[in-house]
Amino acid sequence: MSTNVKVDSGFDISRRRFLQGAGGLTFCVALEANGFRLISEAQAQAAQREMNAWVRIAPDDTVTILTPGAEMGQGSMTSLPLIHAEEMDADWSKVKLEWAPAEPERYGYVNPLGKDRMMWIAGSRAVMLYFNDLRMAGAQVHKILLANAAEKWGAAPASLKTEPGFVVDPSSGRRMSYGEIAAFATLPATLPTVDKSELKDKSQFRLIGKPVPRRDFPAKVNGTAQFAIDVDLPGMVYASTKHSTVHGGEPENWNETKIRKMPGVIGTVRLPDGVAVVADSFPHAMAARLALEVQWKKGAKAQGFDSDATLKETYVKVHADPAAKTRTLDSKGDAKAAFVSAAKTYKAEFRSDYGYHAQMEPLNAVARFNAAGDHVEIWEGTQGPDVSRAMVAKTLGFKPEQVTVNQCYMGGGFGRRLGGDYAAEAARIARELRRPVKLVWTREEDIAHGKFRPQSFQCLEAALDKDGKVAGWSHCVVGDGDIALPGLPPGFLLYTGIRPHYYQIPNQHIEARLLSHGIGLYTWRAVGHVFNVFAIESFVDQMAVAEGMDPVEFRLQRMSIAPRARAVFEKVVQMSDWKAPRPQGRALGISISDRSGSLGAGVAEISLERATGKIRVHKTWLAIDGGLIVQPEMARANIQSGIVYGLSSVLHERITIKGGAVEQSNFHDYHVLRMSDMPEEMNVAFVERDAAPTGLGEIGNPWVAAAVSNAFYRLTGKRLLHMPFTPARVLEVLKA
C-alpha cells in the first residue's frame, strides 16, 4: 500500500469517542431479553450493557451510524448500516460510518455459532445475522423522531410520515429535518415497541435491494484508506518473524550476536514458536530475518509428518478400521436396512489437499503500550476485532479492557484474519522492546507457518431402491481436525457442508473420523463445503451416468430433491441452455452449491489441453437463492470473487508437507489463478424468494470443483477424484 498515514502520539480512539456527539442526539440501543431499550451515553457507561446498534444525529443533519462490519472488499461495512438507515429513513448521502468498538461486554453482537457474544465477520453471516436487529433498531429510532416532531407541532404521530432525513406533516406541508429534531429531542426511558408488521414493506425500500456504491471505494481509490500496514507512529520500529519450519516447533537458540551487529537491528525477541527480529526500518528487519540461523527443539507433534503419504495410506486405513474414533454427524432413518434391501449400490472415494488462504495483504499489526505499560493499543485489519482483543489480552496476561483494538481495512481475509495471532505477537514484541512496533509477516512466513484448510479422504455410498430412487446414503470423511478452534467444535473445519439437506434422502448416516497431526488449521472461504460438496456432487454425477440419465433429471427424479434446490437447478438450466450443443472440445458440468443458508446450482463450460493437462474454464453460470438481496451489486461481486477463488483452489492450489514442514514458499510454487486463465463469462442470477437474507460471500465457491470434474468426465470419460486438478494430476488420470 502506498498510503502512509501519520498517527499523532496523542492519537486516541477511546471507547467513549464512539458515543460522543458534538451536540445533537445520540441513540444507544441496548439489546435485552425483552427487546431494545434506549439508554444515554452516561447510562451506557454505568450499566456496561452489551450494545447491538446505535446512531448519532447532529444538528447539521449528519447521521453517524456505527458499523460492526469489518471491510475486506465484501461490502459489509456499507450494507449493515444501510439496513439501519433504511428503517429510520435516513438520507444516505448524509450518513457517516464509524467502526464499532471491539467491546462485546458493552456493545456485543450475538453470534449464534456459540454461546458467547462475538463480532466475527465470518461465514458470510454479517447481513443474515444482523438484518432483523438492525431493522428493528432503525424502526424504533424512526418512531422516536416522529414522536418528538409530533410533540413539537402538536400533531398525532400517526398523522406524520418521513422522507429521507425529514419528518413531514402532509396536512400542513410542514417539514423538519432529523438534525432540527435532534437539537431539541428528548429520549424516552425505553424505545417504543415495534411490531414486525410495522417494518417497511419490501415495496417501500429506498436503499435495500437498490444499487448503492460501497463507502470504502473513494478512500481506496484516493489512497486515504488506512490499512494497518499504513500506520506510522512516532518512535515506531519494525519487526518480522521466523517461525519453526516444523509446525509447533520451539526455538532453542539462534545467532543473536551476529544479528545484533547488522545495520539498523535493535534486537531479537523469543516467541513460543519462533524468533522476531526488530530494526529501525523494514528493509533492515528483512535483512536480519534472512540472516537468522535458528536451532529448533525436537519433539514437535508434526515432526516427520508427510501429508501425501497420510492422505494416500493412513486415512484409508483409518476409514477401514472399525475401532477408529468416530463422530456421528447425522443419522436418520435406517441406513443399514436401506443398503441390505437395495436393488443397486454405488460407492466412490475422493481426496483433497491442504489449502492456503492466499490473501494479498501480508499479515501485519501495530502495537503500542502506554507509559505505565498496563494498556496496549492495537491497529489491525481483522475479521474479529473482539477475538483479536481477547487473544492479545490472553497473551499478555491482561484483562480485555486493557486492550484497545483500532479496526483497519483488510487486503483480503478469507478466514485467516480471524484469530489475532499476529496481533498478539506484535503486542508481545512491543512490550519487550518498550516501543511501538509494526510487525509484518513475509509471504514465505505466512505460507510456511500458515493455518490451512484441512486435507481429507472421503468415502460415499448410496443405495437405490427398486424404483431407482436413492433411498440410502452413507458418507464418511477422514482428516485432520481433532482440535477445537475458538467458538467452534472439534472437526468443524472438516465436516461443514457434509449434510446434503437439499437431498431429502430418507435413510442417512454421516460421520467423521478426526486425527491431529500438529498442523495449523483455520477457517477458509466456505470451509469444508468445498471438498464435501465436491465429493457429494461428483458422486451424484457418477450415479446419473451409470443409470443412463441426464444429471439434472437424475437429481430431480431420483434424489428426493428439496423445492429450493429444484428451483435453482431449473434456473441454471435455463441460464446455461443446458442441453444446447457446445463448441467442439468443450463440455458442461453441473453441481449444487451450499453455504450459510444460501443454496445455488452452477454450470461450468470447460476445455482441456490434452498435451499439457491444463483445464480451462470458459464460462460459468450460477443461480442463487439467497433470500432478500440487500445489495445486489455487492452480492454479485462477492459471488463472482468466490467463483474465481474456487477456480484457483480447484485447478492450482495445494499445500504439501514433508517432515512436518511446508514444501511451498511463495507464489512461484504455490500456484494461483492468473488473469489469463479467468473465465470469459461469469453469469450470476438470483432466484427471488420472500425470505430473510442468507449468506452470499462464500456461496460462489463450493460448486466449482464438482462442476469442473463432471465436465471433465464428459470430455474424457475419466473421473477426477483428487482435488486440486493440477496439470500433472490430470495427465496421470488421462494415462491411467
pLDDT in tens, 252-286: 999 999 999 999 999 999 999 999 999 999 999 99
Task: Give the position of cell 477401514.
Answer: 320
Look at residue 1 in the predicted model and tell me its pLDDT.
32
**Tens of pLDDT along 207-230?**
999 999 999 999 999 999 999 999
* 682: DSSP letter: E
User: For residues 587-609, b (16+ Cβ closer than 10 Å) or e, as one string?
Assistant: bbbbbbbbbbbbbbbbbbbbbbe
pLDDT of residue 8: 40
pLDDT at 470 over 60: yes
Is residue 248 a contact partner of residue 300, using CB atoms and an 8 Å limit? yes
Are 19 and 176 in contact, with CB atoms under 8 Å apart?
no
Q: For 543-593, how does the pLDDT look when each residue is reduced to its tens digit (9 = 90+)?
A: 999 999 999 999 999 999 999 999 999 999 999 999 999 999 999 999 999
Residue of 83, 23, 25 whose CA lies nearest to 53: 83
Higher pLDDT, residue 2 or 486: 486
Q: In terms of pLDDT, which residue wins out, 9 or 155? A: 155
Beta-ladder partners of 328:
511
Q: What is the mean pLDDT of residues 341-352?
A: 98
Q: Hey, which bits of 15-132 come out as E strands? A: 25-32, 35-39, 51-57, 63-67, 95-99
DSSP states of 76-90 as a string?
HHHHHHHHHHHHHT-
Q: CA 307, CA 521: separation in Å to the nearest integer? A: 14
What is the average per-residue pLDDT within 635-650?
Answer: 97
Q: Is residue 46's pLDDT more than 70? A: no
**Sign of the alpha-carbon torsion through 22, 23, 25, 26:** positive
Residue type, 141: V
> Per the omega criterion (within 30 degrees of 0), is the bond before 583 cis?
no
CB atoms within 10 A of CB 669: 10
Q: Give 17's contacts (C-beta < 8 A, 6+ positions apart).
A: none
For residue 152, report the phi and psi dihedrals to the nearest 5 degrees: -65, -40
CA 548 to the chain's CA centroid: 39
pLDDT of 12 reads 40
The yes or no reply on domain 325-354+452-735 and CATH 3.30.365.10 is yes
Q: What is the pLDDT of residues 504-548, one digit of tens each?
A: 999 999 999 999 999 999 999 999 999 999 999 999 999 999 999
Calpha distance 347→365 (Å, rounded): 48
- What is the C-alpha to C-alpha distance for residues 534 and 477, in angstroms, rounded to an integer? 12
Binning the chain into helix, strand and coil, the percentages to the nearest 5 are 35, 25, 40
Name residue, grid cell 539462534. Answer: 254
CA distance 125 to 70: 12
pLDDT at 28 over 60: no
**Which pLDDT belongs to residue 4?**
42
Cβ-count burial 41-60 (b if 16+ within 10 Å, e if not): beebeeeebbbbbbbbbbbe
Residue 2: strand pairing partners? none
User: By three-state DSSP, how is residue 692 classified?
Assistant: coil
Contact status, residue 245 vs residue 448, Cβ threshold 8 Å: yes
Query: Percentage of residues in the chain with pLDDT exceeding 90?
Result: 82
Domain boundary assignment for the chain: 7-219, 233-296+358-448, 325-354+452-735
d(CA 233, CA 128): 37
pLDDT at residue 119 is higher than 80 = no
Residues 473 and 346: their CA atoms lie apart, in Å, by: 10
Confidence of residue 9 (pLDDT cuts 50, 70, 90): very low
Question: What is the pLDDT, as a whole number, of residue 481?
Answer: 83
Model pLDDT, residue 118: 65
Q: How many CA atoms lie within 13 A of 350 on its CB side?
A: 29
Which pLDDT score is estimated for 602? Answer: 98
Share of the chain above pLDDT 70, in %: 90
Give the pLDDT mean for 355-366.
96
Alpha-helical segments (H) within 20-75: 41-47
Written as nine digits, the cell of 275 is: 524468533
Q: What is the mean pLDDT of residues 712-724?
A: 98
Confidence of residue 52 (pLDDT cuts 50, 70, 90): very low
CB-CB contact of 64 with 55 (8 Å)? yes
pLDDT score recorded for residue 27: 58
Residues recorded for the chain? 736
Residue 160 confidence (pLDDT): 98
Lowest-pLDDT choice from 13-22, 128-137, 141-150, 505-514: 13-22
Contacts of 383 (CB under 8 A, 6+ apart): 70, 72, 120, 121, 122, 410, 413, 415, 417, 418
**Alpha helices, H only, 185-334:** 217-222, 256-260, 282-291, 307-309, 315-320
597 phi-psi bin (left φ>0, alpha ψ -120 to 50, beta other): left
User: How wide is the angle at C-alpha 129 spanned by C-alphas 123 and 130, nearest 5°?
Assistant: 130
Would you call 517 exposed, middle or buried from its count of C-beta atoms within 10 A (0-12, 13-18, 19+)?
Answer: buried
Q: pLDDT by residue (tens digit) across 700-714?
A: 999 999 999 999 999
Classify burial at 725, counting beta carbons within 10 Å of its beta carbon; exposed 0-12, middle 13-18, buried 19 or more: buried
Query: How far apart are the C-alpha atoms of 380 and 220, rounded to whole Å?
Result: 17
Q: 137 CB contacts (<8 Å, ≥6 apart)?
A: 29, 36, 52, 53, 54, 84, 87
pLDDT band per the 50, 70, 90 thresholds, residue 659: very high
With respect to CATH, is domain 233-296+358-448 assigned 3.40.190.10? no
Residues facing 51 on adjacent strands:
30
Q: Give the Cα separation of 340 and 342 in Å (integer).
A: 6
What cell was used for 446? 505466512
What are the residues whose beta carbons fall under 8 Å from the beta carbon of 729, sequence distance 6 or more?
613, 720, 722
> Is residue 220 classed as helix, strand or coil in its secondary structure?
helix
What is 7-219's CATH topology?
Answer: Aldehyde Oxidoreductase; domain 4 (3.30.365)
- Euclidean distance between CA atoms 249 and 243, whole angstroms: 8
Residue 244's pLDDT is 96
What pLDDT does residue 67 have? 86
Q: What is the pLDDT of residues 278-287, one digit of tens each?
A: 999 999 999 9
DSSP symbol at 191:
P
pLDDT tens string 178-205: 999 988 988 887 778 899 999 999 999 9
pLDDT at 376: 98
Residue 13, pLDDT > 60, answer no
Contact 117, 129 (CB under 8 A): no
- What is the C-alpha R_g of the chain? 27
Q: What is the pTM of this model?
A: 0.91
Rounded to the nearest integer, the mean pLDDT of the chain is 90
Higher pLDDT, 483 or 392: 392
| Amino acid at position 147, single letter | A
Residue 136 and residue 83: Cα distance in Å, rounded? 10
Say whether 325-354+452-735 and 7-219 share the same fold. Answer: yes
Compute the average pLDDT of residues 315-330: 95
Give the pLDDT band (50/70/90) at residue 25.
low
So what's the pLDDT on residue 117? Answer: 54
pLDDT tens-place string over residues 609-623: 999 999 999 999 999
> Does the pLDDT value for residue 440 go beyond 80?
yes
Of the pLDDT bands very low, low, confident and very high (cuts 50, 70, 90), residue 26 is: low
The pLDDT assigned to 484 comes to: 67
What distance in Å separates the CA atoms of residue 155 and residue 169, rounded to the nearest whole number? Answer: 9
